[in-house]
């Protein structure tokens, strides 16, 4: 008897010539597309922020709930680690390698979106670290979005790369909590299906 893949799984088999199966190809395309869009949108917003916010004060939006205020951050949130800027490109490189490892068994489209958001955000801030002043691999990240008053707020000033990273991580947590796996299977549902005797499944 030929074993069948778990319910909800889209593992597929490799195509002739070693090409990845369709489910994995779709997931990788989605991952790459989301990452590219997140990276380009972050790059454009930073470009416009440098052009429009360099010489003026904060721009108030939504009645003061959001401010646009240009900041160059040498560290992480709240400037943490600002004296060790060179560490952040190493951390980001590790994140990118981790995403590559996660993509090996990737078949799930929600997971592809999650990893694409994390990858796009990581690349957006890594580009700042590598290419912006004051020097290669010690560049300061361009931030411009502040919630509430930028002079008295407790939330760190951030950019769209940070938002992309956060959304990707939150989505990954939700997927883990709901049992959705990178290979397209779902833990709770697949275990329940395996527990039903074969004869009952055939009669159902």
Q: Which residues are the active-site residues?
A: 143, 162
Q: How far apart are CA 188 and CA 191, in angstroms?
A: 5
SS3 for the chain is: CCCCCCCCCCCCCCCHHHCCCHHHHHHHHHHHHHHHHHHHHHHHHHHHHHHHCCCCCCEEEHHHCEEEEEEEECCCHHHCCHHHCCHHHHHHHHHHHHHHHHHHHCCCHHHHHHHHHHHHHHHHHHHHHHHCCCCCCCCCEEEEEEECCCCCCCCCCECHHHHHHHHHHHHHHHHHHCCECCCCCEHHHHHHHHHCCHHHHHHC
């Amino acid at each position: 008897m030929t074993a069948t893949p778990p319910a909800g799984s889209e593992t597929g088999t490799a195509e002739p010539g070693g090409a990845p199966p369709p489910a994995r190809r779709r997931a990788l395309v989605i991952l790459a597309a989301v990452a590219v869009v997140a990276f380009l949108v972050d790059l454009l917003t930073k470009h416009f922020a440098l052009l429009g916010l360099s010489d003026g004060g904060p721009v108030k939006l939504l009645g003061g709930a959001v401010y646009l205020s240009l900041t160059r951050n040498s560290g992480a949130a709240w400037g943490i680690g600002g004296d060790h800027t060179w560490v952040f490109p190493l951390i980001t490189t590790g994140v990118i390698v981790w995403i590559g490892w996660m993509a090996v068994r990737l078949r799930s489209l929600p997971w592809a979106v999650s990893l694409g958001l994390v990858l796009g955000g990581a690349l957006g801030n890594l580009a700042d670290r590598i290419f912006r002043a004051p020097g290669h691999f010690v560049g300061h990240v361009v931030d411009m979005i502040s919630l509430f008053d930028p002079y008295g707020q407790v939330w760190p000033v951030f950019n769209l790369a940070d938002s992309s990273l956060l959304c990707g991580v939150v989505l990954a947590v939700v997927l883990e909590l709901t049992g959705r796996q990178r290979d397209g299977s779902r833990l709770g549902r697949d275990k329940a299906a395996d527990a039903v005797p074969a004869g009952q499944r055939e009669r159902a």
